[in-house]
A and B are shown apart, each in its own frame.
Chain A
Amino acid sequence: MENLKYTEILQLNKALVGTIQSKPYEIGVLSNVTVNSFEEVLEYSCRLNQIEPKVEIGNFDNIVQDSVVLKNKDLIIIFYDVLNIVDQISEFFEDLEEEKYNNLKNKLFTEIDIIFENLSNTASVIFNSFSSAYYNNNNVQVSKIETFVKELNAYLEQKKTNNVSIVNIDKLFAHIGFKQSIDYRFYHSSKAPYTFAFFKNYVAAIKTVFLRNTGKLKKAIIFDCDNTLWKGVIGEDGIEGIDMSPTSKSGKFYHLVQRIAVFLSKRGVIVGLCSKNNDQDVLDVLRNHKDMILKEEHIVIKKVNWVDKASNLRAIASELNIGIDSLVFVDDSNFEINLIKEQVPEILTIQVPTAISDYPDLILKNIYTYFNSVLNSDDAKKTELYKQQFERENSKTAFNSIEGYLASLEIQLTVVKNDKVHMQRIAQLTQKTNQFNLTTYRYTESQVDHFMADKKHEVYAMFVKDKFGDIGLTGVCIAKEDEKDPKNVILDSLLMSCRIIGRNIEFVFVSHIIKDLANKGYQTLTADYIPTKKNAQVEGFYDKVGLSLIENIDVTKKHYSLNIANFEPKKVDYIKINTELV
């Protein structure tokens, strides 16, 4: 997108209108400057990622009021620009008396408080940091405007609620170059300071936020080997001939990429290999090459064979039980990259650049955009978990019946309720889980926080453990009292990580929740299944649990009900459940 002209983006965006069948993702833009051309760039970027946007630009210089009007959007983006703040004072800023300076500062602090308060239940908010780059020409002293901006930014950081992401505008200016970012001609004629180049870079920078909120982040990165993890071709150059040395001229860039891969595997990203080679050759490099820092222990899945890569990547997605669009594939070959683009366009491909010194940076840029950069301790454990899953898969064959196998796993569940310690992980699961997810409602941390505090909501979280290890928090259910009928409870959300599916855990979890809701005095329960492209596997789930399907009035969902007194939980006696219910 970076190299496209404005008219090209207009045309490409227009061509995509109406091609994405999903509920619109509603974005509100609040600003005290004119943000022309932003709308089209934002829309185009959403559509490229299979998100159908509905963008509403608030009134000019009306941020505080619009933070009330637009608070129900999925995403609010705020441009609160220092240029137009300073323009409204009648003196030269450096000459501002202390009293006036403090008045202005306090006015802004109050506005920030009100904005954050108004948007406290909005799913996601992006606030740009304040910048003094417009005025900063005193290079040997700190100017008044710089101090002012520093105070505002410190206040932002201090007051931001956990649904707010702050975009560091100065970093963007530095990256693009200030002169390329700001056009004073348009600022003075129409209060429109930002250039088109700025908006393209800005949208690229915030993309990770709307990908995260719509569950479109990636889960696995799969590397080719020759000329991707090392320089050279193992089958021709031999183990002595390939290069990934941290001290050699071009080997060091491969070394840097390997460092990133090792880091990712520690952070819960699935790292895999897909290469046309003899398996033994690659194994030999992994085990015996002195410069190879990416080891077998970091690699969850490996397809080293002579099968075409499209089939291999499809097999990888299915074995890992993740969507094909959760994969990123890195390869040096034009042929392979084009094959994947053609055959499996859902996979994001990264081609090793010909200017090899750009390679590590290109990988990093994609990592920051497409992988959840939240450093979550549970994510760090995942690599180990995926490996355990393979051991489980392997031991499956040794048992004659699936029940016998499941019993041998010694599965233990722990269910907690409204436990704020796990708020972040719960919100993350609602945002990332696509397959075992009955309604696919996405919630932010602050929304989960709100549910936990509210008496009419119950937030259940389930931890799973078996003899192979601790799998962690992998199931969530949110129940809410029916506003129209306080004896009825609605299962608003029910989701489980795909790592634990296929072991009847879901039935034990749901039975437990129903029992707990019965204890709270509810007599009936209703629940919906809302189909998406990815959750077909749970289409008949509520039927299996024993809920009754209500006559299909609405074709977009299936509506179920249950008289709790008649509920008969499915017997799964090999799963133990511990409760810490309050």
Chain B
Amino acid sequence: MENKKIKQVMSAVFEIPVESISDDASSDNIENWDSLRHLNLILALEEEFGVSIPDEEVGNLVNFKLIELVINDILK
């Protein structure tokens, strides 16, 4: 469930089709994932899940798996 929502957010922010986002997606293999878009990704995730991502995690969310982990952790 969250899995799909996260990918939809990533798709909108990075302007790429949702199908192209694999579980291995990261800032290394998504070309549009620069530091500016990273901020917008955090913003979009926070809005989508109604959460606030802690300061120390913001810089760490550099791939899909980490995002999933942190979001699920906050939602618990």
The finding on whether chains A and B are genuine partners in a shared complex, rather than unrelated, reads: yes
A248 within 8 A of B: no
The one of B35, B44, B48 that contacts A190, using a Cβ cutoff of 8 Å:
B35
Q: A5-B48, A7-B48, A189-B59 are in contact. Are A36 and B40 (CB under 8 A)?
A: yes
- B29-54 near A? 1/0 per residue, CB < 8 Å: 00000011101101110011000000
Residues 1-34 of B contacting A (Cβ, < 8 Å): 8-9, 12-13, 15
Q: CA separation between A6 and B41, bound complex, in Å?
A: 9
Bin the interface of chain B by size.
Answer: 10 to 19
Tell whether, in the assembled complex, residue A6 and residue B40 are in contact, meaning their CB atoms are under 8 Å apart: yes
Q: Which residue of B lies closest to A34 (CB)?
A: B36
Contacts of B47 in A (CB 8 A): 5-7, 196
| Separation of A188 and B39 alpha carbons in the complex (Å) | 12
Number of A-B contacts defined by CB within 8 Å: 47
- Contacts of A135 on B, CB cut-off 8 Å? none
A side interface size, CB within 8 A: 17
Identify B44's interface contact among A7, A14, A188, CB under 8 A: A7
CB proximity of B55 to chain A, nearest CB, Å: 5
Whether A36 touches B39, Cβ cut-off 8 Å, given contacts A5-B44, A7-B44, is yes
> Secondary structure of the B side of the interface?
helix
- In angstroms, Cα B55 to Cα A563, docked, is 72
Q: CA separation between A189 and B36, bound complex, in Å?
A: 11
Most chain B CB within 10 A, of A5, A14, A34, is at A5
Q: Among B42, B43, B47, which residue has the most Cβ atoms of chain A within 10 A?
A: B43
Contacts of B15 on A, CB cut-off 8 Å? 10, 14
Contact B12 A190 (CB under 8 A): no
A150-191 vs B, Cβ < 8 Å mask (1 yes, 0 no): 000000000000000000000000000000000001101110
| A37 lies within 8 A of B55 (CB) | no
Instruction: State the A residues within 8 Å of B (CB).
Output: 5-7, 10-11, 14, 34, 36-37, 185-186, 188-190, 192, 195-196
* 23 A-B contact pairs sorted by A residue (CB < 8 Å): A5-B47, A5-B48, A6-B40, A6-B43, A6-B44, A7-B8, A7-B44, A7-B48, A10-B15, A10-B44, A11-B12, A14-B15, A34-B39, A36-B36, A36-B37, A36-B39, A36-B43, A37-B40, A185-B58, A186-B39, A188-B55, A190-B35, A195-B43
The chain B residues found within 8 Å of chain A, CB to CB, are 8-9, 12-13, 15, 35-37, 39-40, 42-44, 47-48, 55, 58-59
